[in-house]
Amino acid sequence: MKKVLVTGAAGFIGSHLCDKFLAEGYHVIGMDNLITGNMDNIAHLFPLNNFEFYHHDVSKFVHVPGNLDYILHFASPASPIDYLKMPIQTLKVGSLGTHNLLGLAKAKNARILIASTSEVYGDPLEHPQTEEYWGNVNPIGPRGVYDEAKRFQEAITMAYHTYHGLETRIVRIFNTYGPRMRVEDGRVLPAFFSQAIRGEGLTVFGEGDQTRSFCYVDDLVDGIYKLLLSDYAMPVNIGNPSEITIMQFAKEILALVNNPKAHIIYKDLPVDDPKQRQPDITKARNILGWEPKFNREEGLKLTYEYFKTVVQAVD
């Protein structure tokens, strides 16, 4: 049985990755310091013989006994509300944490996949964004702690790949949604669902003409799995290229939730908020044979069923 370490295992994407690798017959070691993760996301895994969990901060030395075949590094605050509250931890997990895990991969002769992000493109001047685009990032802006942590993460990963010959993979994740997102996450989808279910104002920043492209979590996990097992070491965009304005998206959520008290309110655009987000997934299609299967209508219905339970529980 092959063994995989998933950091950030109690998080939104990390917990779905644990499910995927367990379903594929792997022994899964989950690791999380729980500053943004939630044990409820992986509670169903603890009775399984081929799952174990370490409560640990990967910014400190990481030890895993025995053999290890794969490492997936998904530990990091990932929403603006989190990394603005925890700027130092965000920088450390992207730098020190990645360094520690690359060292572990080297020691175990394991293949490592690191979770990068569309944020490496910043507020893009190229649209849609290809992997060759270098980005338009403000390193000292409020989002810089996350953006630059991920850019450094990519740089040190490629350094280990070229200098040490380490087997590395880099996934650039675009907006992803689905069950297990945190209600207080701060990103647009949890915010809109929570506000609509509670009958509050859906907060649209600026005029709402900025665009996003939303990928359902099952599609993302499938793309990550295929990338890990591929022979391709350069970064790959994984996301859904179906682009929508935030205003259109708010109206879709209002129609789905159908709460007569819910409405749209407007606030000033945050500093360095990207105006456009749309992945070019040509590489994923050609190299991995991957493209998203869930359309937004299907994915939003599944996600709504989850948020109906957790938002009511919070209230």
- Distance CA(294)–CA(177), nearest Å, equals 11
- Distance CA(291)–CA(165), nearest Å, equals 29
- Distance CA(73)–CA(58), nearest Å, equals 9
The pLDDT value recorded for residue 187 is 87
Residues 125-176: tens digit of each pLDDT: 888 999 999 998 999 988 899 999 999 999 999 999 999 999 999 999 999 9
Q: Could you tell me if 227 and 255 lie in one domain?
A: no
The catalytic residue positions are: 146
Residues 268-304: tens digit of each pLDDT: 877 767 777 889 999 999 999 999 999 999 999 999 9
- Distance CA(238)–CA(4), nearest Å, equals 21
Beta strands per DSSP E along the chain: 3-7, 27-32, 51-55, 70-73, 111-117, 168-173, 176-177, 201-205, 211-213, 215-216, 236-238, 243-245, 263-267
287 is a domain residue: no
CATH code, 203 = 3.90.25.10
- On average, the pLDDT of the chain sits at 94
Q: Could you tell me if 85 and 232 lie in one domain?
A: yes
Overall number of domains in the chain: 2
Q: Could you tell me if 104 and 234 lie in one domain?
A: yes
- Distance CA(45)–CA(261), nearest Å, equals 38
For 15, the enclosing helix (H) or strand (E) is: helix 12-23
Domain range for 26 is: 3-176+216-238
Q: Could you tell me if 267 and 118 lie in one domain?
A: no
200 is a domain residue: yes
283 is a domain residue: no
158 is a domain residue: yes
- Mean pLDDT for 30-54 is 97
Residues 254-275: tens digit of each pLDDT: 999 999 999 999 988 777 677 7
Q: Could you tell me if 115 and 207 lie in one domain?
A: no
- Distance CA(249)–CA(212), nearest Å, equals 9
Q: Could you tell me if 115 and 192 lie in one domain?
A: no
The pLDDT value recorded for residue 255 is 96
Residue 275 near residue 149 (C-beta atoms within 8 A): no
DSSP 6: E
Q: Could you tell me if 25 and 79 lie in one domain?
A: yes
The pLDDT value recorded for residue 92 is 97
- Mean pLDDT for 82-99 is 95
pLDDT of residue 314 exceeding 80: no
288 is a domain residue: no
282 is a domain residue: no
The pLDDT value recorded for residue 124 is 86
Q: Could you tell me if 62 and 167 lie in one domain?
A: yes
% of the chain at pLDDT higher than 90:
83
Give residue 165's identity as a one-letter amino acid code.
G
For 151, the enclosing helix (H) or strand (E) is: helix 144-164
Q: Could you tell me if 199 and 127 lie in one domain?
A: no
Q: Could you tell me if 192 and 225 lie in one domain?
A: no
| pLDDT classification of 207: cutoffs 50, 70, 90 | confident
- Mean pLDDT for 68-84 is 94
CATH code, 77 = 3.40.50.720
- Distance CA(189)–CA(36), nearest Å, equals 17
Contacts of 25 (CB under 8 A, 6+ apart): 1, 2
Among residues 234, 232, 5, which one has the least CA distance to residue 100?
5
pTM to 2 decimals? 0.94
Q: Could you tell me if 263 and 229 lie in one domain?
A: no
Give Cα 246 distance to the centre of its chain.
19
Among residues 81, 101, 87, which one has the least CA distance to residue 153?
101
Q: Which two tokens stand for residue 97?
A: 């944490």
285 is a domain residue: no
Q: Which two tokens stand for residue 128?
A: 């849609």
- Distance CA(5)–CA(160), nearest Å, equals 18
Residue 134, SS3?
Answer: coil
Contacts of 248 (CB under 8 A, 6+ apart): none
289 is a domain residue: no
Q: Could you tell me if 205 and 116 lie in one domain?
A: no
**Between 122 and 98, the higher pLDDT residue:** 98
